[in-house]
Amino acid sequence: MVNGNAWRRGFFNSEPQVAGLDSGLLTVAISGRKVSAEFKKTTLMEGNLNTAILGTGMVVKISAGENEGRTAKHNFVVLGYSQQLSKNNKSNNMKWEMRLPVIKQFDSQRYAFVAWVSKLNDPSPLQAVGGWVKIQN
């Protein structure tokens, strides 16, 4: 993904163009199941904070269809997702207080947390952060 669009390196594809815009600064802190985030940008806008919990190294046994009996290996799978509009709407210093997305118990080797800011009616990421987390349901 580059600037919210799919991109693959290939013979006929040129290098992706850099937007050259100030994308802003996104900071996220997790304490227990509480997520606090702040996005500082030079322009006024309405924005959403999108958060997801990813499971990594997952193996799923396929129980039906043409691949029945085989296993599918996944580098990462979205196990939980949530979105929230900024508290101080139409600001260049947006803030959010929310809880980690709820997930069911899955057999995952590790869990990752990702967060990204998007405009109100456009899911394309403006800025993103992520890292490994320990999940306790």
What is the percent of the chain where pLDDT is above 70? 82
Task: Give the three-state DSSP class for 117.
Answer: strand
**Distance of CA 29 to CAs 35, 90, 99, 118, 124, Å?**
6, 22, 11, 18, 22
* CB proximity list for 63: less than 8 A, separation 6 or greater: none
pLDDT for 9: 72
Q: What is the pLDDT of residues 17-75, one digit of tens each?
A: 666 666 789 999 999 999 999 999 877 778 899 999 999 888 889 999 999 999 998 88
Domain ranges of the chain: 25-131
Q: What is the pLDDT of residues 70-122, one digit of tens each?
A: 999 888 899 999 999 987 666 678 999 999 998 877 778 899 999 999 988 88
Considering the four listed CATH numbers 1.10.10, 2.40.10, 2.60.40, 2.40.160, the one that applies to the domain covering 25-131 is 2.60.40
Three-state SS at 126: strand
